[in-house]
Amino acid sequence: MDYQDILNEIYEKVMSFKDRGIPASYIPELAHVNPENFGLHLRFNTGETYGVGAYHTKFSIQSISKALSLALASSFKNNEILKRLDVEPSGHPFNQLALLEIEHGIPRNPFINSGAIVIADILVSKLKNPKQDFLDYVRDITGDDTIDYDYKVAQSEKDTGHKNYAAAHLLESFGNLKNDVNEVLDFYFHQCSLHMSCTQITKAFYMFANRGKCVLNKTRLTEQRVKRINAIMLTCGFYDEAGEFAFEVGLPGKSGVGGGIAALLPEQFVISVWSPGLNKRGNSKLGMLALEQFTSKTQLSIF
Ligand code: GLN
């Protein structure tokens, strides 16, 4: 199969779309991004790579980072994750608070905001210099020291992230936040602001497709944890659109409101796409379409 031809065909198709969705603007700094951008990158476990469009351009990975923070938190012993979080799809938007109150401060899963804030709290407890150590972890698993936070995006979310402050206070009121709300959210906003390209994301997610071994061949996760994180990506990676993503694309993955999506087929490949316009559920509109086209044309999905 000629994968470069397939990527080119997908690129031509998505570029012909008039309705590209709407970039997130609730984080003011994200609203400046040009919705015409589109990048797609494919990395096979064999080392072969293919790309089309703006796949070297860096963007705000936002909630894609939640898979990486979960991976780092799961790698510690006595990490409390299973006591403090559930692993069920929420069926609700990523920032919804009602369920958290009804379910006594136990987030449905680590990929909705409240769940990711609990993971951030665990990392703030475990890491000496949380922001630097998390950045070093991402640089380590990718073998790429140029990766950094976008401090303007982090500040922009700090200034406007009222629902995340509300979630953190609600968690604290139920005894499910151990550190200071401001410290945990400062970490969480920086984590979400990671500025990466599609090529860097496919490297970072390679360990999920490669039984826990990252691109430099170092083991960073056990096989059991990889299995579990991939399961959570499949069932919860796209919030109230997780069913639709499994139905249309058929891969575990994680989206972000920056318009990026990372998805993978265990033992085979990682694919990452970026198109800033979002659909009504906060997932990249053309990104989802591109991945549906890819798995339909190649018949490479977990189903
Ligand atoms: N930082 C964003 C938030 O907390 C992440 C949301 C997302 O990408 N879905 O709202």
- SS3 for 58-118 is CEECHHHHHHHHHHHHHCCCCCCHHHHCCCCCCCCCCCCCHHHHHCCCCCCCCCCHHHHHH
Tell me the pTM: 0.98
In a domain, 79, yes or no: yes
Cα–Cα–Cα angle for 302, 61, 278, rounded to 5 degrees: 75
pLDDT, position 79: 87
The Cα–Cα gap between 199 and 190 comes to: 20
Integer angstrom CA distances of residue 212 from 58, 74, 219, 261: 25, 12, 6, 20
Q: Which atom of ligand 1 is nearest to the CA of 258?
A: 8
Q: Which atom of ligand 1 is nearest to the CA of 164?
A: 4
Over residues 226-265, the pLDDT tens digits come to: 999 999 999 999 999 999 999 999 999 999 999 999 999 9
Interval between CA 228 and ligand 1 midpoint (Å)? 22
Q: Is the pLDDT of residue 125 over 90?
A: yes
**Into how many domains does the chain fold?**
1
Interval between CA 299 and ligand 1 midpoint (Å)? 31
Q: Is the pLDDT of residue 158 over 90?
A: yes
Q: What is the mean pLDDT of residues 54-81?
A: 96
pLDDT, position 198: 98
Interval between CA 84 and ligand 1 midpoint (Å)? 20
The Cα–Cα gap between 50 and 194 comes to: 23
pLDDT, position 167: 98
In a domain, 250, yes or no: yes
Q: Which atom of ligand 1 is nearest to the CA of 256?
A: 8
Whose CA is closest to atom 4 on ligand 1?
113
In a domain, 303, yes or no: no
Integer angstrom CA distances of residue 301 from 154, 203, 244: 34, 19, 14
In a domain, 233, yes or no: yes
In a domain, 260, yes or no: yes
Q: What is the mean pLDDT of residues 8-15?
A: 97
Pocket test for ligand 1, best of 26, 27, 70 (most atoms within 8 A of CB): 27
In a domain, 293, yes or no: yes
Q: What is the mean pLDDT of residues 96-112?
A: 96
Pocket of ligand 1 (CB under 6 A): 62-63, 94-95, 113, 157, 164, 192, 256-257, 282
Interval between CA 4 and ligand 1 midpoint (Å)? 32
Residues 6 or more apart whose Cβ sits within 8 Å of residue 44: 268, 269
Q: What is the mean pLDDT of residues 141-160?
A: 98
How is residue 195 written in tokens? 């500025």
Could you tell me the residue range of the domain that residue 201 belongs to?
3-298
pLDDT, position 302: 97
Interval between CA 8 and ligand 1 midpoint (Å)? 30
Residue-level length of the chain: 303
Confidence of residue 105 (pLDDT cuts 50, 70, 90): very high
Q: What is the mean pLDDT of residues 280-303?
A: 97
Confidence of residue 30 (pLDDT cuts 50, 70, 90): very high
First to last CA, the chain: 19
Pocket test for ligand 1, best of 63, 96, 109 (most atoms within 8 A of CB): 63
CATH number of the structural domain spanning residue 268: 3.40.710.10
In a domain, 55, yes or no: yes
Confidence of residue 90 (pLDDT cuts 50, 70, 90): very high
pLDDT, position 20: 95
Interval between CA 187 and ligand 1 midpoint (Å)? 13
Residue percentage of the chain with pLDDT more than 70: 100
pLDDT, position 287: 98
Over residues 261-272, the pLDDT tens digits come to: 999 999 999 999
Pocket test for ligand 1, best of 65, 186, 192 (most atoms within 8 A of CB): 192
Over residues 168-218, the pLDDT tens digits come to: 999 999 999 999 999 999 999 999 999 999 999 999 999 999 999 999 999
Interval between CA 61 and ligand 1 midpoint (Å)? 9
